[in-house]
C-alpha cells in the first residue's frame, strides 16, 4: 500500500502539483494511482487537475465531495454560504476509496491547522485516516520556520512524515534552496528533496 496525506506549510505552495506528479508517476509504471481532494474552496480547479492526471478514473464528486465557492478556510466558507460540512460522511467516503486503491494521495486544504468545522481541523481528518504525511513547502526564504512548525504539529498528532518537498519558485535562489534543504534534513531527520512544480 502506498497511501499518504499531503499537507502544505501554507496555501499555494504546490500540493496539487506534487499530487499530480505522483499520480502520473504511478500510472506511467502501470499502477492505478488516484488522488482525492475531499475539501476545496474557491473552485474545483485542483480536483479537476487530479481527475485529468488519473485519466478520469473517478468522477469529480468522488474526488471532491465538498466544495465551496468562497476562497477561504472551509469552516468560514461554509458559514458564509449557510451550509454545513458533513465531516463524518466525507471521512467515510475517503476511507472507502482508500480500501479500493493501493496507491492513493489525499490532498488537504491549505495547511495542517485549517478549520473544517467548529470541532475538526485538517489535522484531525489526517489523523483519522492515519496515512503518512507529505509536507510541501516553498524552497526559499521563510520556509525553515513554516516547515519546522508543520513538522512539529504532524509529530504531535502521532503521524509519520513520508517526506518533505521544497517547491522551488522562480524567485527562489538555488543557493538558498539547497541550504534550506540540507538544514531541514539535518534538523528533522526526514527525507527532504527539492522540486520545481507549477503552483
The overall average pLDDT reported for the chain is 96
Phi-psi region of 115 (alpha: psi -120 to 50; beta: other; left: phi over 0): beta
Q: 149-168, pLDDT tens digit by residue?
A: 999 999 999 999 999 999 99
pLDDT at 8: 97
Show the cell assigned to 153: 504539529
pLDDT band at residue 90 under the 50/70/90 scheme? very high
pTM: 0.95
| Whether 127 is catalytic | no
- Range 85-103 average pLDDT: 97
Check 37, 80, 92, 127 and give the catalytic one.
37
| Number of structural domains found in the chain | 1
Parent domain of 26: 2-195
Sign of the CA dihedral running 68, 90, 130, 49: negative
CATH number of 157's domain: 3.40.50.300
199, pLDDT greater than 70: no
Sign of the CA dihedral running 1, 181, 113, 34: negative
Amino acid at each position: 500500500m502506498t497511501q499518504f496525506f499531503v499537507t502544505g506549510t501554507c496555501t499555494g505552495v504546490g500540493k496539487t502539483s506534487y499530487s499530480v506528479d505522483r499520480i502520473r508517476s504511478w500510472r506511467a509504471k502501470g499502477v492505478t494511482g488516484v488522488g482525492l481532494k475531499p475539501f476545496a474552496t474557491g473552485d474545483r480547479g485542483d480536483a479537476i487537475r487530479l481527475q485529468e492526471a488519473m485519466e478520469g478514473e473517478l468522477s469529480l464528486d468522488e474526488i471532491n465531495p465538498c466544495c465551496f465557492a468562497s476562497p477561504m478556510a472551509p469552516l468560514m466558507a461554509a458559514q458564509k454560504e449557510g451550509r454545513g460540512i458533513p465531516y463524518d460522511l466525507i471521512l467515510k467516503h475517503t476511507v472507502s476509496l482508500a480500501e479500493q486503491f493501493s496507491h492513493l494521495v489525499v490532498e488537504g486544504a491549505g495547511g495542517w491547522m485549517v478549520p473544517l468545522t467548529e470541532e475538526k481541523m485538517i489535522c484531525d481528518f489526517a489523523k483519522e485516516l492515519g496515512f503518512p504525511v507529505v509536507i510541501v513547502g516553498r524552497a526559499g526564504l521563510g520556509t525553515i520556520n513554516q516547515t519546522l512548525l508543520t513538522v512539529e504539529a504532524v509529530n504531535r498528532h502521532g503521524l509519520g512524515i513520508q517526506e518533505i518537498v521544497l517547491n522551488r519558485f522562480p524567485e527562489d535562489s538555488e543557493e538558498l534552496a539547497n541550504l534550506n534543504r540540507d538544514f531541514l534534513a539535518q534538523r528533522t531527520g526526514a527525507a527532504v528533496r527539492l522540486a520545481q512544480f507549477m503552483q
